[in-house]
Structure 1
């Protein structure tokens, strides 16, 4: 049987991905950091925070790219951008990979920051040192 924390984590990922999708669509890419910070503040356990932030950051950036690829030629745009970056025109996948990596790292770094702030609010007991 699936625990309630698992369902809550799944709901957090779905809500986080939806928030990132909407905010990235209007140009507010920095909202990924806000979502990661909320994950860091709201969850206990370092492993849980890492998994949730990596899943949310990755899916929150890859799913809109895949959705746009259905109707818009993002492959051509990424090839041009890769050429401008010096990777070569045929290496458009590098731009996709860097974009997804950016989303994952931004969300994970903000989750780490949220976790550090949570540690200030709820300091560990002396017996845990």
Structure 2
């Protein structure tokens, strides 16, 4: 089910529940601004989701309402996780699906961090 990024934030979404500790996740990093954990259905040897802790649906929402500290903290968290996972030198891919055309399935902003092997072309077909 695709997400409409213009809808209000729904605090019952799975990532909000993970952030509150209601659902377990294999966490790899957490600070005041972000949480990172392994995807339950990995598409690469390393497939980690990184999400801001605030209630944001999309990049547009985050850019419009997030504080400078939240935005900087989230970006730094993504970089930290990539370094910690040993992905910087061989390379990695970040993907954020936004809205129905972008294939967003959870109404909480998040990025997928993929690595651990050559990832091929950016988009298939």
Larger CA Rg, structure 1 vs 2? 1
Higher helix share: 1
Higher strand share: 2
Would you say same fold, with TM above 0.5?
no
TM (normalized to structure 1)?
0.29
